[in-house]
Amino acid sequence: MFSPASIWEIAVKSGLGRPHFNFDAAVFRRALIEGGYIDLPINGLHAAAVVRLPDLHRDPFDRLLLAQAMVEGVTLLSADEAVLSYPGPIERLT
């Protein structure tokens, strides 16, 4: 599954001209769906769970992704060292 927060982050950072985000968020989402991934909607429980996270990382997208993983009982895959410093259901994306 994937979070709309990831698609949103790609869209925002691509629009800002960030070099690691120079691709189309809609095309990326379509590729995920075609690859068999499902869209995990963001809900109020996810948003509220952000408050339980220690203040280790300021990126709101990553904090929401981790909160979603915690609430849903799934593992978040990340290559971001700041995200990997959190306790919780996270594995290094290689």
**Domain spans of the chain?**
1-41, 43-94
Over residues 42-53, the pLDDT tens digits come to 999 999 999 999
Average pLDDT, stretch 28-54?
97
pTM here? 0.88
What Cα–Cα distance (Å) separates residue 16 from each residue in 9, 10, 21? 11, 10, 9
